[in-house]
Each structure stands twice: as C-alpha cells, then as structure tokens.
Amino acid sequence: MTFDYDLFVIGGGSGGVRAARVASATGAKVGLAEEFRMGGTCVIRGCVPKKLMVFASHYSEAFADARAYGWDVEDGTFHWSRFQKKLHAELDRLEGIYRKLLDGSGVEIFDSRARLKDPHTVALADGKEVTAKHILVATGGRPVLPEIDGAELGITSNDIFNLAELPKNILIVGGGYIASEFACILNGLGVNVTQYYRGAQILRGFDDEARALVAEGMKAKGIDLHLGTNIVEMREATADDIKGVSEGVPMEDGKPAQLPQKGVGKGIWVKSTNGNEHVFDQVMFATGRAPNTNDMGLEEAGVEVGRRGEAVVDEYSQTAVPSIYAIGDVTNRVQLTPVAIREGMAFVETVFKGNPTPVDHELIPSAIFTQPELGTVGLSEEDAREQEPVEIYCTSFKPMNHAFADREDRVLMKLVVSKESRKVLGCHIVADQAGEMIQLAGIAVKMGATKEDFDRTVAVHPTMAEELVTMKEPMRTA
C-alpha cells in the first residue's frame, strides 16, 4: 500500500516537533498537524512563560536584598501589562522558531485539528484526509476543573498568562507543583495569595523533609496556606458577601479595603471545608491534568485508552495498533517536557533507524520552581527505606547570601544512601537555584555514584552546593 506520508504526527509540542524533525532527517516524508499554536504546553502555556514569571516575581525580594548589601534603591512598581506584552512577544518568537525548524527539516505543517479515522488515516478538520505508514499521537494534556458546583467561575494555569490585569487577591486550589509554583509567583508579584490543599502536606510524592521546608518557606513569605482544606461551595459574590467577608477582602472601618477588581469578575464567594467564607477576585484550580484524547478517534482506531483517558503504550511507545504510537503527556507516564522529547527520540530510533530503543524513565531529575526552589532526583527517604536499609546525610542552614541580608530562608541538602551498595539513591535540594544544582547532581546519581565518590570530590568554596560533598556522618539510618 502506498501512503501519503511515512510518518504523520498529531501535536506540535516539544515531543511531536522533535520526533517529526529527527524522523525527517532520516529521509522519511513527514507531516504534522497542530490545532492551536506550535510549541505546545511548554512553550505557549507552561514551562517557558511560567519561568519568565518566576524571574519577574523574584524582584520584589531582590529590592530588600539590595538595600541590605548597601545599595540605595527604592521598591519598584510591577506593571503587569508591560511584562505581559513582552512575554507574549517572546512566546511569538519561540513559536516562530519551532515553525522554522520544521520547515527547514522538510516537515509539512497543517494548522488544523486532526483525529484518527483508522490505523493509517488521519482526518483533518477542513475535511481533508491523509494516510501514513506510521502515526504518532503527541497531543499532550490539559488542566481540568474539579467537580465542584461553581467551578466554572475559576481559571486554570492556561488562563493565568492572559489575565487583563492581576487580581488583588486569589485563591489557588491544589497542592502539586503547578499550584505551589503559581502561589509563589503571584505572591512575589504582589497578589494576596491563599492556597487550599486537601492533603496533609503540599508536593505529594516528593521527599517529606524537603516539601515541609518548602511549605514553611512559602508561609514565611506571606502565602496563606491551608492544609487539609478544600472548597465546599463557590458562586458569584453578592454585595452582602463582600460586605461581610473578613479575610478574602480585608475590612477597614467597616468597609471592604479591597473590592473585587474591575475586569476580573464580580468576585467569587467561597465556602471551605473548615467552615470559613471568603470572597476572592479570582480562584485558580490546579487540581489535576488529563490527557488530550477526547474525540481523537483513538478507540475507534483500536487504540486502548486507560482509566484516566491516556493512550496505553508499551516500553517502545507503541499502542495496541502496530502503526500508531504515542508520546508525552497524552500517555500519562511522566509529565515533563524533556521526557516527551526523549520519548520522541526513542520512537525515531525504534521505527526509522532500526534500533529498538525502550524509553528510560528511571532517575529523572526535576525541579519545582517554588520559592524556595526544590530540586530532586532519585528516591525520597520514605520510598528508599521501604526498599532497603539506608543512611540519610542531611544538613539545613542559612546560606551566606541570606544571612548577610538578614533573611530567614534556609537551605536543605540531603543524600539518601544505600547501606549495602553505598550508591546515592536520592538527592534533594531546597535552595535558590536548586534546579541548576540538581541537573548536575543528577548526572552523578544516574551514573551510580557512591557516597564515597561524593566524598572524594573536592568542595567548591564558598558555595551552598559544597555541602553535598562535605557531609561525612549520617544524620540517621532507616
């Protein structure tokens, strides 16, 4: 059978674009369809704009630090519209780069929604149909609203970059990395932030000691964090709600000090599980994401779809249909952009280079851009001690730059070490630039470095990271 394409990719995010480009470089004829903007979640509504907002949010604290270091400076005023204009210009530039890379690689682009018709046919929204020997689904994921009455009044992380203006106050619901990062970002930009999480501690799944220090640091910076708390009910606020509220909108002389802002709604009344009632300018939900498989034709084509809507794949990213593969968040394996890119590369090695390459999901470093920042690789202390006896090397201290500026922020450096093999099973850092540090530590952990390998490494002084190689005695065993 003759096909229009050797490979047709559905989805123009980082994973899909990389797979399309690399496959095309092998001589394959490749097409790619994207219904929204090239770059996907990471470039358009995720990692990149979020990290730029992280940078912007640090300056409120930097003004105080500068004065402590002898600079004569005044606190500046953050102009959301000025930042937002430059932010969107940068996203436009990056999208243009993605398109040029595809064009330069010979990939044919279709700016259209696409869905599967059968194992070798893709139907485009304009009515056109194309055939392909192989189809790669790389449609990513999306944030979902919880099943709460009135949830439609809230926003998600997709909406935060497009607000006409910043709210005076906001409730963020969720305790994962997205909720916690945006709580820190908006707090740094001057928004009064309240965060509800139904669990006992934020950042579930990460090392307990590390996430506790992050939570402590967030509260110290002014975030009103409520654990074991969720929304019972929410609706548009009435005049009586606004008049009677005491926390979401502070009262001064019997009148609301901060009315809900023009342009961000009439205000949202929220009742929580602890019985409190508040009015917020905005409510942002970061309570989960779902794979983008709705109305994609996957099941009709024979692809198995899991309980959470994910495309079910094997270790080579192949679905139950031999001609159809899936990578990235749509598979709900590890929801990280670099992982999607790696999966795309492994797919090309397997299908177009005759080199069957399973995807390696072990020992993936990651960073949470909260304030303070968290970097982690490998096993948490809790997970490691369930597997084997371990030693815990850990230190917490006030770093030089914070101590000099009279800031209370503390750093955590932690190594989880196997008693038997002496391998470092996990490394966890809570500190400024923890993400930069964990990238390098991740190399050593991935290589199987032992605690003695760390010990033999000469410290770089004075740095925070030198503590990783100077901790000689375990703090505890487990």
Give the residue numbers marked as catalytic.
461
The residue among 430, 439, 425, 427 whose CA lies nearest residue 464 is 430
Phi-psi label, residue 302: left if phi above 0, alpha if psi -120 to 50, beta otherwise? left
Q: Check: CB of residue 169 under 8 Å from CB of residue 192.
A: yes
Q: Check: CB of residue 21 under 8 Å from CB of residue 101.
A: yes
Q: Check: CB of residue 94 under 8 Å from CB of residue 42.
A: no
The residue among 177, 176, 179 whose CA lies nearest residue 154 is 179
The residue among 32, 46, 26, 25 whose CA lies nearest residue 4 is 32
Structure tokens at 242: 């606004």
The residue among 186, 194, 192, 188 whose CA lies nearest residue 169 is 192
Place of tokens 């704009």: 49
Residue 268: what are its φ and ψ, rounded to 5°? -120, 120
Q: Residue 77 and residue 66: Cα distance in Å, rounded? A: 16
Structure tokens at 39: 């770059």
C-alpha pair distances (Å), 220 with each of 69, 121, 409, 433: 21, 55, 9, 19
Q: Residue 438 and residue 470: Cα distance in Å, rounded? A: 17
Q: Check: CB of residue 108 under 8 Å from CB of residue 30.
A: yes
Q: Residue 74 and residue 448: Cα distance in Å, rounded? A: 49
The residue among 199, 200, 223, 203 whose CA lies nearest residue 211 is 203
- Running DSSP on this structure, what letter comes out for residue 349? H
Distance of CA 285 to the CA centre of its chain: 14
Residue 430: what are its φ and ψ, rounded to 5°? -120, 110
CB atoms within 10 A of CB 152: 8
